[in-house]
Structure 1
Amino acid sequence: MMCRVGSVVAPFCVYLADVWIYLPQLIVGILAFIIGVLTLLLPETLGRPLTTTLEEAEALGSQPSKKDSALGNKDAEDGLEMNHREAKA
């Protein structure tokens, strides 16, 4: 959805150059920086099975990472096995 909003708004950013020549580049640069920082807040998903429901996706950020506990490794393996069984069915 945000991609569509961006594609509608982007052509009008060119007209901001009439206000100040560097304004369009400044807006794009600031937004890219903010998006980069917000990306760091996403949970780590390396070695974890893909989520299939909204509840699993919400729980992904609240679970401890694999490095924090050995139980996390067991949970990730169980989830991976469960997804393999579901895929075969």
Structure 2
Amino acid sequence: MRDVGAAEIQREQRSPQREQYVRQRERDVRQQEQEMCQREQEGRQREVDAQQREVDVRQREHGAEQRERDVEQQERNALQYNNCEIQRA
């Protein structure tokens, strides 16, 4: 009889411990899901940052090409102006 009573008491004590274990596991799982989600977001952000850097590089290259064309145009304009001045003289 004492063994039956002891077993019941042990089950009752185990039940709150089991509940605590289950709640802790649920918290752990939620935390792991949040960490995984955060890593995915960080990965997506790194991709966006890399794409933005590529755009920035292309814009700088385009700007450099445009400045080069502008200088060439200014040189042509200066030559044309000089030719006009020579023809006037």
* Range class of TM-score, shorter chain: 0.3 to 0.5
Of structures 1 and 2, the one with the larger relative CO (CA 8 A, separation 6+) is: 1
TM-score, normalised with respect to structure 2: 0.32
Kindly indicate which of the two structures has a greater share of residues assigned to helix: 2
Superposition TM-score, scaled by structure 1 size: 0.32
